[in-house]
Structure 1
Amino acid sequence: MPSVAVVWKGNCHDPRTRYRLLGHLQRLAARSDEYLRLSQPERSRILDMMNQQRDGTLNARANIESIDQEISGSILVSSFVNPHPESFVARAREAGVTLIEDPEAKDPPLIGITNARLRGLDFKLFDPRGLYPGADRMSFVFLECPEHPFLDGRLVEIATSEDCAASGAMALRDADFYLCAPSVHLRYYLEDWTDCLFSWIKFFFIGDFWWHRWEEMQGYADYRQVFEDLQGDRGSEAAEEAAFDAVLGTFSQHAEHWIGEVEGWAKSEQG
């Protein structure tokens, strides 16, 4: 099976709900950071070569970025931060917001604003193979733009002016910031786990949360039933905590398993 880009989208207007969610996700980011710093396995030559080739062109970033930033200038928002970009663009038109057509693409127009605030978390997701440097991060950053309610509370991934210039896209070349839908590149490792994490987010925090792996909201019907039963037994707050403990524990199980796999490949190569 080929690799997959897992994409997620959602909207949360309530700052208290966002704060509660980010508190849990900080634990996941810290666990991932701990593996990145302390548990990197010896890799086979081919994995090392792949990692070095891809990583060599990237700017260094912290494993965890806690973001609380006022931004201004030319801010372009992808209409794909919403699962239904056409209706999203229609709402932007009704609001009188600037729309920017990309002459090189057939996609819906970009949405242009000049001021916003970004709050949230962006972190590197531990993968002992190091397959996809730069595409191995998870963004849970919320766009705060109260003057435009259809944008306010949207989950975004941030591209800076340097990223925009490097993209080569004509529509982005003069942008100070480009905000798009978050995504992470996976292959086998943690694919199923993302369904569990995102189902937890959708059930306990963001009702309109949406993701696509191989299909839309894969596994949610099953996880929803589990969470409903847990909520009935323990109450909402305890269920939320217990379910996330399980999400975090499953992440560690996958990480430990794949550390062993990568170490095994390196030993086999050495004979």
Structure 2
Amino acid sequence: MPSVVAKWLGRCPGEQSQHELARYLKVLAEINHGYWEDHPAPISDINRAMHRAAGIAPLTGPTWREFDIPVEGRIVISGDVVRRGFDDERESDAELAERLRTAGLPIVSMEASSCCNISLSRCRLRGIDFIVFDPRRLYPGNDRLSLVFLSETGCPLLENITVEVQERGMFANPSDNDPGGIDCYLGAPTLRLRYMHEAFLDCLMAWIKWHFVDDLSYWRNAEWPDSPLYNDWFAAAAEKQGERDARDAAFARLCDEYTVECDTWIDRAERNFQSDGSA
């Protein structure tokens, strides 16, 4: 099977809820970082060779970021952060552009991008993102799990919406036709996966929707895979343990599952791939 791109969009209106969600995700980000410290480069020979050929260095330094900061300068926001629907039911560029104009948002054009980009001069970012551990490191630059929320924009359409943060000089690639440059680019969150962490992400997103982001939308091959199963689990646990204890217990289970999956894939890479270079 090919890789899959998971996508999510949502709005978390309460600052307290945003902080609380970030507190949980920080725990997961620190667990994840420990794996990157031990395995900064791909384990398998073939993936190492591909990285060398592409000039991709081993991952060093922080693998996660925590935001609760004001941002000023030239901020460009992809209209996809508020686009309705995914894939076949995705809102068209024309429909999105009209909705942005109705909301009074300035639309800017960028090379190699859709016409539906929004320009701001200030905002606030709050939340957590991290580079998801994979001992193959298949998709550098498209491997970040982001639950960062945009606020203080002056526009209700953008307030408290999920974004993925790309700063100039770190992730942004300014156009040659844009001499002023972009200080911060905010896109719609996506994460590219291949087998590893797919079911985990489904469950994590269901947990986030149940407890923090009521209107969260999520797509991985289909809309909300296995969500009835997860929702039944959350409901039964809440009835038995109470909402807060059930939330904590479910998150602890998610962290345990994450470590099991990381360990399993490390073992698979070390046993099956490193010696013969197959993938």
Query: Shorter-normalised TM-score: what interval?
Result: 0.7 to 0.9
Q: CA deviation at 1:266?
A: 4.0
Q: Distance in 1 between matches of 2:263 and 2:109?
A: 46
Q: Which residue of 2 aligns with 1:51?
A: 51
Counterpart among 104, 107, 114 of residue 96 in structure 1: 104
What's the offset of the Cα at 1:265?
2.1
Aligned residue for 2:225, secondary structure, equals coil
Q: Does 1:82 align with 2:82?
A: yes
- The 2-side partners of 1:71 and 1:186 are apart by 30
Pair 1:11 & 2:11 matched: yes
Match of residue 216 from structure 1: 223
Matches within 5 A, 1:171-210: 174-210=181-217
Q: % of aligned pairs identical?
A: 30
Question: Normalised by the size of structure 1, how large is the TM-score?
Answer: 0.88
Structure 1 residues 132 and 230: CA distance shift in structure 2, 3 A = same
Moved more, 231-240 or 73-82: 73-82
Report the aligned-residue RMSD.
2.8
1:16, 1:233 → 2: CA distance? 25
Structure 1: distance between partners of 2:41 and 2:260: 15
Task: Pick the structure with more helix per residue.
Answer: 1
Deviation, 1:95, is 3.3
Give the direction of change, closer, same or farther, for the CA distance of 1:195–1:83 in structure 2 (3 Å limit): farther
Give yes or no for the alignment of 1:37 onto 2:44.
Answer: no
Cα 1:6–1:44 change in 2 (3 A) is same
Report if aligned partners of 1:165, 1:174 keep a CA contact under 8 Å in 2: no
Counterpart Cα distance in 2 of 1:219 and 1:167: 39
Partner of 1:250: 257
User: Structure 2: where are the runs of 5+ without partners?
Assistant: 85-90
Aligned residue pair count: 269
User: SS of the residue aligned with 1:212?
Assistant: strand
Answer whether contact 1:100 1:111 (CA < 8 A) is retained.
yes
**Amino acid of the structure 1 residue aligned with 2:48:** D
Deviation at 1:143, TM superposition (A): 0.9
SS in 1 for 2:13: coil
On the 8 A contact 1:58/1:134 being kept in 2, the answer is no
Unaligned runs of 5+ in 1: none
| Corresponding residue to 1:155 among 128, 140, 162 | 162
